[in-house]
């Protein structure tokens, strides 16, 4: 299973990396599930779906979401591209877990897919500006080392103070009313990191980053 652009790191796998992965999995007869929920939020690289390496879906299951690209979060709208057998199995599961999908969401989803290109262009420009702001601001904060944000709307910086990421997140919330996710929410390798979302307004993002900087200065 791959996730590109990735949550929480913002990493985007290159076309070459995806091709190499596909060849390895094909040789080993390994199926690929590709989570591409943030497909339209890629800032500096070419948009490339690993599913495009197959003329007809066979060994790759590609999963897409309308939640991010069209700001339809919470509506749980999306689609999957896969071979007929996989789609049939998915339908069987959904039949017993998710019924009576609201018609207005179905209509809105269809409209977005047909007419939403201009919205995506504007959406992406706005998020690129926020990404640039966040990346520049994080680079200026002492005791914080940020990753290069290539896609999605998250930063996953490492901090250099002696504090568990869960405690960091809890204390930051309690004192500054600023919410970040502890790195360990994504596994033990995330210790010493926090996930920052920049899906809010520019003013909110700046206020949140100022709070992170103050918190680090107080606890260094």
Q: Output the CATH code of domain 2-115.
A: 3.40.640.10
Fold equal for 2-115 and 119-219? no
| pTM of the predicted model over 0.85 | yes
1-20 tens-digit pLDDT: 999 999 999 999 999 999 99
Residue extents of the structural domains in the chain: 2-115, 119-219
| Mean pLDDT (whole number) for 33-53 | 93
Alpha helices in the chain (DSSP H): 15-28, 66-69, 84-97, 103-115, 117-139, 165-176, 202-219
pLDDT mean over 114-127: 92
Q: What gap in Å lies between CA 34 and CA 16, rounded to an integer?
A: 16
Percent of the chain surpassing pLDDT 90 = 85
Task: Report the pLDDT value the prediction gives residue 35, as an integer from 0 to 100.
Answer: 97
User: Tens digits of per-residue pLDDT, 69-85?
Assistant: 898 988 989 999 999 99
CATH class for the region spanning 119-219: alpha beta
Query: Between the CA atoms of 201, 203, 207 and 209, what dihedral angle is there, to the nearest 10 degrees?
Result: 60
pLDDT tens track for 190-220: 999 999 999 999 999 999 999 999 999 999 8
DSSP 124-170: HHHHHHHHHHHHHHHHTSTTEEPPP--BTTEE--EE-SS--HHHHHH
Q: Is residue 170 scored above 80 in pLDDT?
A: yes
Q: What are phi and psi of 71, to 5 degrees?
A: 55, 45
9 by Cβ neighbours in 10 Å (0-12 / 13-18 / 19+) ranks as: buried
């Amino acid at each position: 299973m791959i996730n590109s652009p990735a949550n929480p790191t913002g990493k985007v796998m290159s076309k070459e990396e995806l091709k190499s992965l596909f060849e390895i999995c094909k040789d080993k007869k390994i199926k690929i599930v590709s989570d591409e929920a943030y497909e339209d939020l890629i800032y500096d690289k070419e948009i490339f779906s690993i599913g495009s390496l197959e003329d007809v879906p066979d060994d790759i299951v590609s999963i897409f979401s309308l939640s991010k690209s069209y700001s339809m979060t919470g509506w749980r709208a999306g689609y999957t591209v896969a071979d007929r057998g996989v789609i049939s199995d998915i339908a069987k599961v959904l039949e017993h877990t998710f019924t009576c999908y609201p018609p207005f969401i179905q209509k809105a989803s269809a409209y977005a897919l047909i007419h939403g290109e201009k919205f995506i262009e504007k959406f992406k420009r706005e998020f690129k500006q926020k990404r640039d702001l966040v990346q520049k601001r994080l680079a200026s904060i002492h005791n914080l080392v940020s990753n290069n944000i290539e896609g999605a709307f998250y930063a996953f910086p490492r901090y250099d103070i002696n504090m568990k990421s869960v405690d960091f997140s809890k204390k930051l919330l309690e004192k500054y009313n600023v919410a970040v996710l502890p790195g360990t929410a994504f596994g033990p390798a995330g210790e010493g990191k926090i996930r920052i979302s920049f899906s809010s307004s520019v003013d909110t993002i700046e206020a949140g980053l100022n709070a992170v900087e103050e918190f680090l200065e107080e606890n260094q």
